[in-house]
Amino acid sequence: MIATDFDLTDHVKRIGRAHPSWTEKAIYNPRYWQARARRLHEYEIVDFLELNPNHSIERSPEGSGINVDQLCKSLGIILEWPPRKLTRIVSIGAIKFH
C-alpha cells in the first residue's frame, strides 16, 4: 500500500491567510488542495516503482472492490472523514502476473 499523507491543517492555514474573506467550506474545498496532494502521491508511486520494478499500481483501489477503509484500519492507519487535519491518498502496489 502506498499512502500519501497531505497536511490539510497547513493548507487551510495558508489559504485562510491568503483569502481571509473565504468561508470555511471554500477553504476546505478539495479543488484547492487535491491536485497538490495527488502530485505528491504520484512522486511516491514513482519512488515505489523504482524500488519495485516488477509491480503494478492500482491507483483507484475502491474501484477494484478493495475496501480501503477496512484495509487501513487493519494496518492501524486511521482515515479521517471528512478530512479536517490530514488526508491520505491510497494506492495499492502488487506484483505483476503474466
Tens digit of each residue's pLDDT (9 = 90 or more) over 29-54: 999 999 999 999 999 999 999 999 99
User: Binning pLDDT at 50, 70 and 90, where does residue 24 land?
Assistant: very high
Beta strands in 1-98 (DSSP E): 2-7, 55-58, 86-95
Distance (Å, rounded) from C-alpha 49 to C-alpha 92? 12
Residue 96 has a pLDDT of 78
Q: Are 2 and 92 in contact (CB under 8 A)?
A: yes
Pick left, alpha or beta for residue 65 (phi over 0 → left; psi -120 to 50 → alpha; otherwise beta): left
Report whether 48 contacts 57 (CB < 8 A). Answer: yes
Q: pTM higher than 0.75, yes or no?
A: yes
- Give the domain ranges of the chain: 2-95
Q: How many residues does this entry show for the chain?
A: 98
